Amino acid sequence: MGWKSILAFVSIFFIFILTFFYFFPLRTINFGSTGNGNFTSFSEADGGMQFYPNMRFPDTNITYRIFNCPLQKQNEMQIAFGIIEDLTPLRFFSVSNKEEISVTCAEGEIPTGDLFIAGEGGPTEIVAVGTFAVILSGKILLIHESSCEKPNVALHELLHVLGFEHSANPENIMYNITNCAQTIGDDVVELINEVYAVPSYADLVFKNVSASIDGRFLNVDLSVMNTGLKRSGEFKVKIYAEGELVKEVSMPSIDIGYGRLLNLKNIWVPQINVNELEIIIESNFEEINIENNKIKLQVN
């Protein structure tokens, strides 16, 4: 082999090496978050008048079922529902099954186990989502008949189901000893109106997002949580490198308080130098907050 052939071979090999490192640079780049991917838990805060802060049912329309109750107690409970409806945006609807509030008058129906019960009424299933403690179900046990003009016992237990604790004020209907002169405090009504002013939408948010680039291949780990008040619809997660879309993933719906993990490996990135990634949730349903649907990651 002549020197010209050797020189040509060396030149071709050199060009090959340069091309290889151009497309597959031997480096790892780690990214850190600059966006909002966190949410708070109600368990870390004082609930004030409620067992936990901002307790509410998912929607202002709440279903109930009354069973094993004499007619008088049924009437008292329905009047109690009507009083709360007159003061707040809440509406209560009778159903034959799958109710959110179960009302019974039989002592044998007292719940057992690890249910969250306050006295003779209270939430039985609560989910921590964002700034809300969402009540998925509750139970009322009416043992004592009310001799008052208003159904104070039923109102007391209904407000327990709505998340309210006992009051230290003997004039408040939430005081732990009932008398007929007690009334519903304005602060209770104001808090109900405040927490239910937020629309019953889903709210998707990123959590635990990390990314790295090995050569020209991007690796992303993240989770998407629904911290809203309604099951989400299907959505997409889109990943951009320096403003150019490099990956799109379709995601199924998520229940209240649940999340989905996404682990992506070896996503081809056309750019040589990547200093910023942007990850976006794209959906066609309404959310409580759309500002938390995107997050930016920058080189550490």
Spatial distance between the Cα atoms of 77 and 103, rounded to a whole number of angstroms: 8
Mean pLDDT over the full length of the chain: 83
Label residue 274 by pLDDT band (50, 70, 90).
confident
Average pLDDT over residues 96-120: 68
Q: For residue 77, is pLDDT > 80?
A: yes
Q: What are the distances in angstroms from CA 124 to CA 51, 59, 169, 258, 289?
A: 12, 17, 26, 18, 28
Average pLDDT over residues 142-157: 85
Q: Domain locations in the chain?
A: 25-39+201-299, 57-195
SS (H, E, C) the chain: CCHHHHHHHHHHHHHHHHHHHHHCCCCEEEEEECCCCCCCCHHHCCCCCECCCCEECCCCEEEEEEECCCHHHHHHHHHHHHHHHHHCCCEEEECCCCCCEEEECCHHHCCCCCCCCECCEEEEEEEEECCEEEEEEEEEECCCCCCCCCCHHHHHHHHHHCCECCECCCCECCECCCCCCCECCHHHHHHHHHHCCCCCCECEEEEEEEEEEECCEEEEEEEEEECCCCCCCCEEEEEEECCEEEEEEEECCCCCCCEEEEEEEEEECCCCCCCEEEEEEECCCCECCCHHHEEEEEEC
The per-residue pLDDT for 28 is 47
Q: For residue 7, is pLDDT > 60?
A: no
The per-residue pLDDT for 98 is 94
Q: For residue 100, is pLDDT > 70?
A: yes
The per-residue pLDDT for 271 is 84
Q: Could you please state the CATH topology (level 3) that the domain comprising 25-39+201-299 is classified under.
A: Immunoglobulin-like (2.60.40)
Q: What is the pTM of this model?
A: 0.78
Q: For residue 70, is pLDDT > 50?
A: yes
Share of the chain above pLDDT 70, in %: 79
Q: For residue 287, is pLDDT > 60?
A: yes
Higher-confidence position of 5 and 266: 266
Average pLDDT over residues 14-30: 47
Average pLDDT over residues 276-283: 95
Q: For residue 133, is pLDDT > 70?
A: yes
The per-residue pLDDT for 277 is 93
CATH superfamily of 57-195: Collagenase (Catalytic Domain) (3.40.390.10)
The per-residue pLDDT for 229 is 95
Q: For residue 160, is pLDDT > 70?
A: yes
The per-residue pLDDT for 11 is 55
Average pLDDT over residues 207-214: 90
Q: For residue 42, is pLDDT > 70?
A: no
The per-residue pLDDT for 43 is 39
The per-residue pLDDT for 22 is 46
Is 57-195 in the same CATH topology as 25-39+201-299?
A: no
SS (H, E, C) 114-150: CCCCECCEEEEEEEEECCEEEEEEEEEECCCCCCCCC
